[in-house]
Amino acid sequence: MRRFCLVPAAVLLFSLNAYASDTETTPVQGDASAEAIAAAAQEGKLPLQELRNFTEIFERIRSAYVEEVDDETLFEYAINGMLNSLDPHSAYLQPDDYDDLQEHTSGKFGGLGIEVGMEDGLIRVVTPIDDTPAQKAGIQAGDLIVTLDGEAVMGMSLTDAIERMRGEPGTTIELEVRREGEKELLSFELERAEIKVASVRTEMMADDIGYVRITQFQANTGRELNGALLDWQQGDIRGLILDLRNNPGGVLDAAVEVADAFIDDGLIVYTEGRAPNSRLRYSATQRTVARELPLVVLVNGGSASASEIVAGALQDHQRAVIVGTQSFGKGSVQSVLPISEEKAIKLTTARYFTPQGRSIQAQGIKPDIWIEQSEVTPYKQRYFKEADLPGHLSNPEGEEDGKEVSKNSTSELLKRDFQLYEAHTLLRGLNILRPTTAAAETDSNSNGE
């Protein structure tokens, strides 16, 4: 069985109707006939009176509803209502939905490029995906979508809203958004496009500090990360920033591989549920490529599911400093259970736990160092120095008078991103202390002999 730990919200694809997390496929157990249901009810396994109520309501709708609705549609409504009432992630998958779910993990799909969920009758943006129409237009995590092409979202199901946002590449849709801190609704016109998500992006920053941005956990994410780390280790890398902000999740095995790149022993994540096959454990291996590299992990409210698994494992093993704001809190497992050759249900079957037994669900990962996002705005101030004074003494080492100490180069990315700037500063500080610490340990060992 292939397991996924996908996005914590429905993705606006041409045909994706999945708000998925960890999923597995379970064989069909057989059809339950009307006789079997009646027999089970008589044995007390099913509530007979509630079944009678359902039958009565079903018949009343068939005979008295203002418009005629066929039986198949009514049963689909009933199934959808039953699953949607359980939690935001359980769902009834129509014939194309599972194929679309698989397509999403490949990193190529069509749509607007936002992860969304339902909240108080409105569509909540969990996160825009990097380099997509939504992200480029300025849609932000936390935005509430109020209208779609002028029609109010209130009263729509999540599925209906997603259907309205789908369309061919090049077609447009207008969204009105309510954003915290804004008095008026914000209007956006988005052009649908084919979305290609690059899973791993890398950059070598100042002071030999590597930067890895994982936008989504895909099948090749672990391999791409390990390749980048091995390339950097051929030179001189002194620390790593792993950016998981606004990462909605992805393939579970990829999350385990990413954690395994930094942890060489012990548990990474485990799941617990009522069914025996929902209790699984994932442990680190000896394939670790960066077991001692200083590591800072960035998270925020858009970091969910697989991102939280990685951050939680690294935090519990004290392998990394977690920096940013509290993560999303998507810690449940969904299993895809086929009910026919064409249809299936996606059912929440377990919860994720970090190595130390912390549940991620509705709690998320709390950072070790809490830093809100903002821009880096240096305060410019002119100071007079000794070298500015007339007749000052010269430096005996021959340094040129008035020469300023060289500053560490700050890339545009660091200037725009305060959380990243702070993570970079933290790693620089750790690197400054490392030679001193090593020298102190050497002196201590020498004195003891």
Catalytically annotated residues: 305, 316, 330
Q: CA-to-CA distance for 439 and 433, rounded, in angstroms?
A: 10
276, with CB counted inside 10 A (0-12, 13-18, 19+), is exposed
For residue 416, what is the enclosing H or E element? helix 412-416
Alpha carbon separation from 39 to 34, 36, 128, 138, 167 (Å, rounded): 9, 5, 50, 57, 47
Say which residue the tokens 């020469």 belong to.
Answer: 403
| Dihedral sign from CA coordinates of 89, 94, 98, 100 | negative
CB 256 within 8 A of CB 307: no
Longest pairwise C-alpha distance within the chain: 106
Q: CA-to-CA distance for 379 and 384, rounded, in angstroms?
A: 16
Write phi, then psi, for 72 (nearest 5 degrees).
-60, -40
* H helix count then E strand count, the chain: 11, 22
Q: CA-to-CA distance for 315 and 217, rounded, in angstroms?
A: 19
Cα 207 → chain centroid: 29
Helix axes 252-260, 306-316, angle to 10 degrees: 30
For residue 257, how many C-alpha atoms fall within 13 Å in the half-sphere facing its CB? 17
The strand pair at 172-178 and 281-283 is best described as unpaired
List, in sequence order, the alpha helices (H) in 65-130.
Answer: 71-84, 97-105
